[in-house]
């Protein structure tokens, strides 16, 4: 029994030695193969391989650099935007500080709500927004009144411009202007009036009819002013301007013309700084009231410049 165990032990030793020899031989062959492979690579190929390995190793670093650059650009844009906004706010504040408010009152009469279609009410709403914005920017802002606010117009403002309740430098009244202002101080601006303004009285309140009617209710503002015993007049447009189209002015155009007159002191300068270029406005060359005023109104587009009772007389 002992002899058999001794023989088996010797056999195991021989087997282990053989395995170790084979492993060493395999390792030697592998190293020889790698050495042979390296020797087989040219100098250019080895250089390319090293470059590829380096590129792979630096992948994460490059990704981080791109991320950092993107973040820096975003931060720079935010800083620039903040600087621009700061400059704009500063400019607006300077303009407000430099503005010289006037005592002249300018009123938009919104008592024609039941005479307008919904789309025309929306147009009036936009025109009132423009009046408010222009008055805030004006060098000589007027005392802005909005009267008889209600109905469709108020609904439009509530739905599309909820911030109107926070508007500054404006008196918004639900009452009719005749209940808010003294009758002796009011002058209604209507193209149907035979009276022509030559200058503005800073003690007066000038009323603009807030009616987008496309000539469906011509003469209604003059009629209402006469019923209330209120003075009325039209802007001196014919004395200074010839136009190729109908002399139709939107609420904001009348408002802006008066603001421009308060600043420039010239009706002609005021008209030409406000009137849309597409109307082909030209200065009257032969003197006040002598210009040719023919126009069939075919060029006018109600969608852009609504027919209002604050318009000039229709061509005969």
| Active site residue ranges | 213
Q: Of all helices (H) and strands (E), which one includes residue 212?
A: none
C-alpha span between 250 and 241 (Å, rounded): 16
Nearest Cα residue to 142 out of 102, 201, 195, 90: 102
C-alpha span between 267 and 240 (Å, rounded): 7
Partner residues linked to 196 by β-bridges: 234
Q: Beta-carbon neighbour count of residue 309 at 10 Å?
A: 28
Contacts of 105 (CB under 8 A, 6+ apart): 142, 143, 144, 145, 181, 185, 204, 205, 206
């Amino acid at each position: 029994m002992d002899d058999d165990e001794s023989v088996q032990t010797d056999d195991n030793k021989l087997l282990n030695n053989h395995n170790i020899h084979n492993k060493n031989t395999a390792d030697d062959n592998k190293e020889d193969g790698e050495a042979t492979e390296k020797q087989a690579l040219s100098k250019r190929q080895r250089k390319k391989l090293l470059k590829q390995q380096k590129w792979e190793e630096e992948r994460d670093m490059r990704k981080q650099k791109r991320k950092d650059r993107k973040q820096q650009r975003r931060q720079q844009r935010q800083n620039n935007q903040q600087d621009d906004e700061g400059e704009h706010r500063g400019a607006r504040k300077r303009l407000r500080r430099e503005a010289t408010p006037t005592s002249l009152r300018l009123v938009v009469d919104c008592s024609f709500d039941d005479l307008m279609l919904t789309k025309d009410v929306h147009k009036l709403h936009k025109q009132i927004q423009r009046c408010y914005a222009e008055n805030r920017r004006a060098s000589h802002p007027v005392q802005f009144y909005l009267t008889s606010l209600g109905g469709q117009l108020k609904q439009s403002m509530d739905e599309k411009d909820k911030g109107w309740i926070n508007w500054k430098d404006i008196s918004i009244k639900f009452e009719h202007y005749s209940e808010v202002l003294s009758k002796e101080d009011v002058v209604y601006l209507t193209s149907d009036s035979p009276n022509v303004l030559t200058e503005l009285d800073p003690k007066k309140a000038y009323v603009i009819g807030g009616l987008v009617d496309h000539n469906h209710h011509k003469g209604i503002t003059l009629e209402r002013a006469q019923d209330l015993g209120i003075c009325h007049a039209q802007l001196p447009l014919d004395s200074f301007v010839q136009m190729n189209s109908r002399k139709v002015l939107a609420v904001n155009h009348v408002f802006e013309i008066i603001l421009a007159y308060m600043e420039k002191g010239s009706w002609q300068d005021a008209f030409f700084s406000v009137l849309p270029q597409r109307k082909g406005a030209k200065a009257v060359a032969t003197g006040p009231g002598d210009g040719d005023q023919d126009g069939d109104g075919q060029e006018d587009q109600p969608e852009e410049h609504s027919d209002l009772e604050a318009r000039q007389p229709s061509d005969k």
